[in-house]
Structure 1
Amino acid sequence: MHFSNIGTIHSYSLFGESQHLPDVLHCETIAERSALHDWELAPHRHTRLHQVLLITSGGGVAHLDGERIALFAGALINVPQGHVHAFRFTQHTQGWVATLADELMDEIFVRVGDVRRDLARPAVAPAPPQLHQAMGQVWQEFSGRAKARALVLRGLSATLLGWVARAMEDHSPDDTHAPESSLVQRLEALIEAHFLEHWQVADYARALAVSPTHLSRVARAATGVSAQRLIEARLMREARRNLAYTHLGVATIAYTLGYADPAYFTRAFTRDAGLSPRAFRAQVAASAPAPAM
């Protein structure tokens, strides 16, 4: 397969299969999916997911936003949401892929904002021993059904991302990040601070001292979606979190998110998720793992 000959870059919300993530993360072996596709994964991007790959043996080639990078045993691959990526692994390559929901990334960025820039950069870097250990623990916990599994996975996810951020910082070039990349990062930080106030694109553009048109163009180039979609997506992530992890009524959630009309919130959520808030809540409840005995 020649990646340059592929005309369509597919966007996936969740592992190319479904839209919503009942767990805080998903973890699988590299071979589990790659072997089904002759060890080649065509160019695609994830709109709501951050991926971390660790190669323990084997290698191959990665294409990250059009840049060709050799893969090697011990390589860490950081793939933020929205970035186009493709892989060609050598046969029988071993390792893991951890896929983290954007809801989890939001929580981490709120608490530890200084890792945002490092985690937002797609790159391949040598993985420190601690990252190997953290990924192994994630895999072991994800594969089981022990008591407090979700709580442990949440903690391990933060640990894993912390080591990824350190590896990205150590591997970072000395020059400053591209201005457009910095603009998107500042936009995302502002969205995190003001999404409940229902700021519009013009409000964010004013705060960033750029035009709305320029802001949307840069956002689309960096993430694959418009600035307006980034704003809407953050609200919808908060809605999904409330529906999945609280017992608040739909109307209460709507008011909490700044919607004056619960019916409008229901329509907006249904348009985004493809099912109503109540149906989404039922789906998450049905997919939750049974508690350990």
Structure 2
Amino acid sequence: MSRTSATSVPVFKLYGETTAWPTPDLIHCESIPERSRLHDWQIKPHRHGDLVQLLYVKAGQAELEVEGQINQVRQASLQIVPAFSVHGFGFSEDVQGYILSLAQPLVDTLSAALDNTPLTHAAFYTLGTQKGYVDELFDSIVQEYTEPALGRELMLQSLISALLVWVARRAQALDCTQTQTPDRGRDHLQRFTGLLEAHYRTHRPIDFYASELGLSAAHLNALCRRLAGQSALQLINQRLLLEAKRSLVYTAMTVNQVSDSLGFSEPAYFSRFFKRGCGLTPKAFRLQR
């Protein structure tokens, strides 16, 4: 697999997608062949600024490169791809498995109950005798994801929580995080996303986040552009836009109520913000869902 310099690595939302997160869901799940065959089974090096991926190779062969570490897959394995990490994949045409993408807000929520989140460092696990258990988890996740039913979001979060606990236990058993080389830039970005999750509704200025991180606003913006492909303000606006979409799709709140819940001073300002980011008014977006 050819190497790509950090400055030329594209930042994608999903494979090849550079627009906003494509769904109000905080989860995206698809089979490895579904996307990879469109790219001749080779996914070029890239990074994601605001999502974590769990890649499950159930059968077949693969070459998985994450942050320069290459793993050759010849048996059922699970690869953790943290946010901001450069990664690229190559698959055999008979590959079977899934790619589970989790938006950072969901990762932060689900990881809060764990003392040490298992998704902040790249890790590779062969499954061995635990393949059956992981198979069942992914099969259930895929079924819930593709066949919407009552309590879908709660069930998905429960299943993914079980998967994260499994990963955390494997990480603890292998003590794999101890060998990771610290990346201060990525650590700053992860702390920024955590602060953003806590404060995005209050429309804090960039200087606030920079001060909390012990950085200058210019340094924070440079880190965001380098690792996430967007400015700090763009990341803040994307988080607000995502929550607005979710409120419009999954709640009965009026547009005015959504505006208030997201800290906008007036509904007209919220509507302009939403249309600028989505291309539709809040009402039109709700009607098309």
TM-score (norm 2): 0.82
* C-alpha separation in 1, matches of 2:214 and 2:48: 29
Q: Which residue of 2 aligns with 1:281?
A: 286
Which amino acid is 1:154 matched to?
Answer: Q
Asked whether 1:160 is paired with 2:138, we answer: no
Aligned equivalents of 1:175, 1:159: Cα separation in 2: 24
State the AA in 1 paired with 2:29: C
Aligned equivalents of 2:45, 2:15: Cα separation in 1 = 13
Residue from 86, 89, 92 that aligns with 2:88: 86
Alignment identity in percent?
Answer: 36
TM-score normalised by length of structure 1: 0.81
- 2:55 partner SS: strand
SS of 1:73's partner is coil
Q: Deviations over 1:211-264 (max 9, x none)?
A: 111122223333232222222222222222211211111122112211102222
CA contact (8 A) 1:24 1:150 kept: no
Which moved further from structure 2: 130-139 or 248-257? Answer: 130-139
**1:24 and 1:153 in contact (8 A); partners too:** no
Alpha-carbon distance, 1:150 to partner:
3.8
Instruction: Look up the match of 2:264.
Output: 259
Per-residue CA deviation, residues 192-224 of structure 1 (Å, 9 max, x unaligned), is 222222111111111222111112222333323
Aligned twin of 1:136: 139
Q: Which residue number in structure 1 is paired with residue 113 of structure 2?
A: 112
Which deviations, in whole Å up to 9, do the C-alpha atoms of 1:162-215 show, x marking residues without a partner?
333444554323456322222222222221222222111111111222111112
1:4 positional shift = 4.4
TM superposition outliers: structure 1 runs of 4+ over 6 Å: none
* SS across alignment from 1:275: coil
Q: Which residue of 2 aligns with 1:248?
A: 253
Partner Cα distance (1:244, 1:178) in 2:
37
In 2: Cα distance, 1:190 partner to 1:216 partner: 15
Structure 1: stretches of 5+ with no match in the other structure: 286-293
SS of structure 2 residue aligned to 1:119: coil
Q: Is contact 2:210-2:220 (8 Å) kept?
A: yes
Query: How much does 1:92 deviate?
Result: 0.6
Taking the aligned partners of 1:212 and 1:22, their CA distance within structure 2 comes to 30
Match of 1:126 in 2: 126
Whichever residue aligns with residue 71 of structure 2, its letter is: I
Q: Which residue of 2 aligns with 1:195?
A: 200
Number of the residue aligned with 1:33 = 35
Q: 1:173 to 1:144 in 2, by over 3 A?
A: same
Structure 2: segments with no counterpart, 5+ residues = none
How many residue pairs are counted as aligned between the two chains? Answer: 282
1:186–1:206: structure 2 CA closer, same or farther, 3 Å change rule? same
1:162 maps to a residue whose letter is V
- Supply the AA of the counterpart residue of 2:278: A
Contact 2:121–2:177 (8 Å) recurs in 1: no
